Amino acid sequence: MKKIIKENWITRYLRYIATWRKHRKIIKELNGLTDKELADIGISRWDIDRLIWLEEDETRKGRGKK
């Protein structure tokens, strides 16, 4: 029983790290755009973090599609 719990915890942790790295990469790329470029795609600079993590937050709260 302890082995199963430990593997699940490790799996969740590794999945979180992978997701965090992917999100950070996207956030860095978006922050590299100018305000005009961001406006062209319909977002503002202060929306970047919220938009990138939105799906993850909704999924974790049980409101997402996953």
Question: Is 16 contained in some domain?
Answer: no
Q: What is the pLDDT of residues 17-60, one digit of tens each?
A: 999 999 999 999 999 999 999 999 999 999 998 888 887 766 66
Question: Is 32 contained in some domain?
Answer: yes
Question: Is 7 contained in some domain?
Answer: no
Question: Is 12 contained in some domain?
Answer: no
Instruction: Give the chain's domain count.
Output: 1
Beta strands in the chain (DSSP E): none
Q: How many residues does the chain have?
A: 66
Cα 51 versus chain centre, distance: 9
Question: Is 37 contained in some domain?
Answer: yes
pTM of the model: 0.65
Which residues span the domain enclosing 64?
23-66
The counts of H helices and E strands in the chain are 3, 0
In this prediction, residue 12 has a pLDDT band, given cuts at 50, 70 and 90, of confident
Question: Is 14 contained in some domain?
Answer: no
